[in-house]
Structure 1
Amino acid sequence: MREIKFQAWDLDAEQMYNWESIKQLFHEHLAHPRVKVREYTGLKDVNGNDIYEGDIIDYKETCIGGAGNIKGVVEYSEGSFWVVDKANEDANLLFSETAELTIVGNVYENPELMGAGE
């Protein structure tokens, strides 16, 4: 079973808060219009960093006949986490057994990496 934890991006302070700092007042973060809550996927990248919803990752397929390499945003859809390449309208299931995953940023702190973010 994967560990359940979150991060929260404060749009006004432009600061990321970790799970330890938000879990006491989690319900307030969920309801706040200027805070974007990010769910942990249960996976880590090649450097051991936790992968969260909204992270921008390099996704390199390692199995024969795989989808290849894409850079995309981690999104939750249809009950699963996906790596979505918005520029090429492509998506791959976020699955660490067949891919090498590297976090390069996130849509809040590094929107220039994908032309994403708010």
Structure 2
Amino acid sequence: MREIKFRVWCKQNETIQTVSKIGFMEDKLWYVEDEDHETQPPYFEDDDDWVLMQFTGLKDKDDNEIYEGDIVLLKNEFTTWKGTVVFDEGAFKLSIKHSWGTSVEHFNKTNVFNDMGARIQLNNIYLVVGNIYENPELLEDSQNGTK
């Protein structure tokens, strides 16, 4: 069974907070950062104050949890791409900007076609390098993992 976890980007103090409990009360997000130090939970007035990010259930090559909003390097035998984790059409995917547009790829093996037209699969390796809130500068050059 997949572990259901969240974290929240707090726009007021520009930090990511770990979420151990979550709930909504009077149309306001409620959360407790640490169950051991349960205090009066913060209340956010509206959706513009916070961004909730769900754990994908996946970890990168260094055993870091991958969440929505993370910036991830996808490496395989031929190339390195940089993308953002999104939830699209009922699945977590990697959104990659290319010179010709944006592609949204599933977290799995990449299907490509060889010179003979046969489909082959590449083994992808994922590495979390930041997130879109704390490290937006990492998206300036989303193609190829280096600037």
Give the unaligned 5+ runs of structure 1: none
Whole-Å separation in 2 of the counterparts to 1:32 and 1:91 = 25
More strand per residue: 1 or 2? 2
Give the residue type in structure 1 aligned to 2:83: G
Q: TM-score, normalised by structure 2?
A: 0.65
Question: Is 2:61 the counterpart of 1:46?
Answer: yes
| Residue 81, structure 1, aligned to residue 88, structure 2 | no
**CA drift at 1:68:** 4.3
d(CA) in 1 for partners of 2:47, 2:87: 20
Q: 1:90 aligns with which of 99, 103, 106?
A: 103
Over the matched positions of the two proteins, sequence identity in percent amounts to 36
Number of residue pairs matched?
Answer: 108
Higher helix share: 1
Larger Rg over CA atoms: 2
* Distance (Å, rounded) in 1 between the aligned partners of 2:80 and 2:16: 28
TM-score by length of 1: 0.79
Structure 1 residues 92 and 69: alpha-carbon distance in aligned structure 2, compared to 1, 3 A threshold: farther
Say if 1:6 and 1:38, in contact at 8 Å, map to a contact too: yes
* Partners of 2:59 and 2:2 in 1: CA distance: 11
Query: How far apart are the structure 1 equivalents of 2:139 and 2:23?
Result: 29
Cα RMSD of the aligned pairs, angstroms, is 2.3
The aligned runs of 1:1-118 (5 Å cut-off) are 1-20=1-20, 23=21, 25-27=22-24, 28-29=28-29, 32-61=47-76, 68-88=79-99, 89-95=102-108, 98-115=123-140
1:42 shift after superposition = 0.1
